[in-house]
A and B are shown apart, each in its own frame.
Chain A
Amino acid sequence: MKTIIILILSFSITAAYAQSPYEKMITERVAELDTARTSRTLQRLANDFERIALADEKNWLAHYYTAYSYVRLAYSIKGDQIDVYCNQAETYLKTAEKLQPKNSEILALYAYLYGAKVNVSPMLRGASMGKKSAGYTDLAIEADPENPRPYLIRAMGIYHTPRAFGGGAEKAVPYLEKALGKYKTFTPASKNAPRWGKAYAEQLLRESLKK
């Protein structure tokens, strides 16, 4: 009898574990994402998230983080290759959106993604992709006004727009302050839910105030 109880117990423990390796791996990799800087690390993380997304197809966070890693990669390089990473990010983000429609985080990531696409050729794409990005920022705020990330993305867009076109560091400040205010009160919906950006917002604010 005792052995049977142990047997059942050990089974159920294995079963409980069998569900969580995905979540466990996401938690570990998300922690790495915060400090990842090189494109090599980002690519490795993108691959790890991609494997989870492919194995656990209904896990929107796995798709979300795969897309997020690729967007970060897109910001880490120059030229035509930006589009390659963005298109890859877009496919995963679309799947995430199907699993979680109207999710503020997903909409904000779209805004971040189209912001990266502007960098391929700011002269040619500033107008079209910039607008697309702004449109998604609005949608993300509408879906969850307490989400700090759309404000950060808007601030980044303004920060990198030349002054002559109505951008510049000073104009980004109010949005950065707003984003940081939201970061203070923001609590992620779940353990692995998106929470990135705070440190970057702080850094950008410091740089903006210096100018």
Chain B
Amino acid sequence: MLVICIFPYGAYAQAVIKGKVTDRSATPLSGVNVFIKGTIDGTSTGENGEFLLKTHITGDTVLVFRYVTMEEILLPVHIGEEMKALTVKMREKQNQLGEVVISAGNFDVGDKTRATVMNTMDVETTAGADGDIMGALRTLPGTQQIGESGQLFVRGGSGDETKIMMDGLDIPNPFFAGVPDVAQRNRFSPHLFKGIVFNTGAYSAQYGGALSSVLALETKDHPSKPSTVVALIPYGGQVGHDFLGKGVSGGFDVGYSNFGPYYKIISQNVDWLKAPESGMITGNFRKDTRGNGMIKGYVYGNLLHQAIHYPDVEQQGKPFPYRVKNANAISLLTYTRDLSETWKMYVGYGLNFNKDDIEHRNIPVETTSLQHQLRTTFSGPVTTWARLNTGIEGFYRQITTDSLQTPEFRDNEAALWLETDLYVGRDLIIRPGIRAEYDEAIRRSVFLPRLSMAYRAGRYGQMNLSAGEYAQKPHYLFLAENPGLHFTQATHYMANYQYGHQKRIFRAEAYYKNYRQLLTTIPAPGNNGNGYAGGVDIFWRDARSVRGFDYWVSYTWLQTERQFMNYPVRATPTFASPHTAHFVVKYFFERIGLFTGGSYTVAAGRPYYNPNNPEFLADRTPVYHNLNFNVALLRRWGKTFNTFVLAINNLAGNEQIFNYRYSSDGSYRMPVTLPYQRSFMLGWFISIGQDRSGEILEQLP
């Protein structure tokens, strides 16, 4: 009998374990699973974080504390009769906090929901963005409203100081070839991309050749379904098809547009000789390969023709024909794969061809450029606390033009970079990096050290500090005939704070940049320019407070001066406004599938050159106002998804004056304005198979 009694002896002696569970900041945690390891004896903490666990088990054992967002705690205890109340503090799981990421100066546009300022859908649904990536990015702080150009002017930098890359490969001609003073769209539809990283400064060593900004676009992987899409807009149409097989997918799009009939109905401020007419064809291809690898191919071809009567200010605005014909072709091929469990490699080859035939006052100029690029990168952990990113790239360029004494210009360029992410504890990352560039035409190399760090400040906050050296070659037109030219250079310093939680994001960033050796063209081309830019960018987005309602506000403060090109003295350049603010709102009536959006931008006047004013660039254009509106109705009929779109830009019909062009004697001036008073767009987009209604708003005027 005695033997039996010993066995279940504990059954009658019930022990009680009491305690309280909190997080690191002593906030009680309710719903924590508290139990004895390996048994079902346990309980959950109540509202006040307290628990009371009754058990028959006694002696030395381990108490487990588990909670979804917290790291598990194993607490060795001795269960006896008289136990003291336990106090347990749990720490957030690493992945719950989100990785500390270096975000100074870059805006990540992705599909992630956490702390991304924008997602790819925003490109299509932001009123006034016209489904143009650049248009959507222009509502972020740090960018300037340069209405006469499609380029991105970032933090006091010129449009040429922003570089655009696709899957790591350069796109030297990302915009449609244009006529003077009319903004041109970028060539790429946003639906090509799964991620967009907009670097407004102090970016990583993997990017080079850009003094102010880098826009890195990342193309999509396999689609989830095959689909066909048809788009009908007042000035053209587009047909596309995506196919999907096992581990392989691809697609093509063919488009044609002719603004002729549209311009007949909606009057234009520009005297068009030939309204833009363009044909486009693109294809893409993806194939899975061994080692979790993928081969991606992308080809693009476009022919465009447009011509205007361009007024000559020296002759009281007498118009002269300006005609441009452009042919552009892009081919990108990339291969990515895992080298081991943790190391990854990338190889990319890019080919860009561009031919411009420009005829002004009956003088034709033909320019043909060809660029080859080869790029390879490797990344992986070296130790548990250090991660290496390294790569090498080379360019070959060949440019033939009638406008130079030397009709053919060739140039080779090579770059090498090395960067390490050092994880110092769980709240701090330090990223030192170095980039070396060599250019054959310049016959010199530059070394560009960079340093960034990110520190977690609170559960949803983060602070960043970055600094670095940046370089860019002068334009080939100058490089070809002035062998003594050097790289133009800049030093960036930046500090930011970001808070992101539950669809609310706040971001504030301050920066200072110092420009050196900027290109000057008077008296002779040289590197005698310099300048600075400093400012503060603020962004707030809230998609949480009211269901279906999403808005953001951004403000840009910019102070900059530079002496470059033909500036006789240092002055605030024509592409810099000291204050810019944006208000973007969106509302989705989910029940009826109706989407509406609006945006309003206001910016202080920009400097313009007035020969009558003895002070250089002392005049300012009027304040800029721009109000846009869009509405989209989504309907599904059978297997087709239909989207009807109405979009109006510059709804209030504000006269937007970007600049004045003066005759050299100052007696005549001509304002540079929008080519239209208001723009209208009504479209019908049909997609079959897959819901591609997200692509709707990307084709706006």
B-binding residues in A (CB < 8 A): 3, 7, 10, 14, 21-22, 25, 39-40, 43-44, 46-48, 50-52, 54-55, 70, 79-80, 83-85, 88, 120-124, 126-128, 131, 162-166
Contact = CB atoms under 8 A, between A and B. Distances in A.
A164 B636 contact: yes
15 contacts: A21-B40, A22-B40, A44-B31, A51-B39, A80-B501, A84-B69, A88-B68, A123-B121, A124-B119, A124-B121, A127-B224, A128-B224, A164-B635, A165-B593, A166-B636
B38 interface: yes
A120 B111 CA distance: 12
Contacts of B114: 80
Contact of B113 (A46, A48, A80, A165): A80
A165 B31 contact: no
Given A80-B114, A165-B636, A10 B4 contact: yes
Interface string B59-72: 00000001011000
B224 A131 contact: yes
B593 A51 contact: no
B447 interface: no
B23 to A, nearest CB: 15
B376 to A, nearest CB: 31
A25 B39 CA distance: 12
Interface string B40-73: 1111100100000000000000000010110000
The majority secondary structure among interface residues of chain A is helix
A47 B34 CA distance: 8
Given A25-B40, A52-B40, A80-B113, A165 B691 contact: yes
A48 B591 CA distance: 39
Given A40-B31, A44-B31, A47-B43, 16 more contacts: A39-B31, A44-B44, A46-B33, A47-B42, A47-B44, A52-B40, A84-B96, A121-B113, A123-B588, A124-B113, A127-B691, A128-B224, A162-B591, A163-B592, A164-B592, A165-B691
B220 to A, nearest CB: 12
Contacts of A25: 40
Contacts of A47: 31-33, 35, 42-44, 66
Contact of A80 (B31, B42, B502): B502
A51 B41 CA distance: 8
A10 B4 CA distance: 9
B544 interface: yes
B502 A79 contact: yes
Contacts, number: 94
B196 to A, nearest CB: 14
B634 interface: yes
A43 B44 contact: yes
A86 B136 CA distance: 32
Interface size class of B (residues with CB under 8 A): 35 or more
B590 interface: yes
A123 B550 CA distance: 12
Contact of B225 (A7, A43, A131): A131
Q: What are the nearest 8 A-B pairs in CB distance? A: A164-B593, A43-B31, A47-B33, A166-B636, A44-B44, A47-B44, A51-B40, A79-B502
Nearest to B31: A43
B113 A120 contact: yes
B103 to A, nearest CB: 18
Contacts of A121: 113
A22 B38 CA distance: 12
B1 interface: yes
B119 A55 contact: no
B344 interface: no
Contact of B593 (A55, A83, A85, A162): A162
A162 B592 CA distance: 7
A21 to B, nearest CB: 7
Nearest to B125: A123
B35 A51 contact: yes
Contact of B39 (A48, A55, A131): A55
Nearest to B590: A162
Contacts of A43: 30-31, 44
Contacts of B641: 165
Contacts of A70: 68
B503 interface: yes
A88 B96 CA distance: 12
A55 B40 contact: yes
A108 to B, nearest CB: 21
A165 to B, nearest CB: 5
Contacts of B1: 3
Nearest to A10: B4
A163 B591 CA distance: 6
Interface in B214-259: 224-225
Contacts of B121: 123-124
B4 A7 contact: yes
A39 B113 CA distance: 23
A25 B43 CA distance: 13
Contacts of B119: 124
Contacts of B40: 21-22, 25, 48, 51-52, 55
Contacts of B591: 162-164
A50 B43 CA distance: 11
B228 to A, nearest CB: 16
Contact of B68 (A80, A85, A131, A166): A85
Contacts of B41: 51
Nearest to A88: B68
Nearest to B592: A164
B112 to A, nearest CB: 9
Contacts of A128: 224
A55 B636 CA distance: 49
Contacts of A54: 38
A68 to B, nearest CB: 15
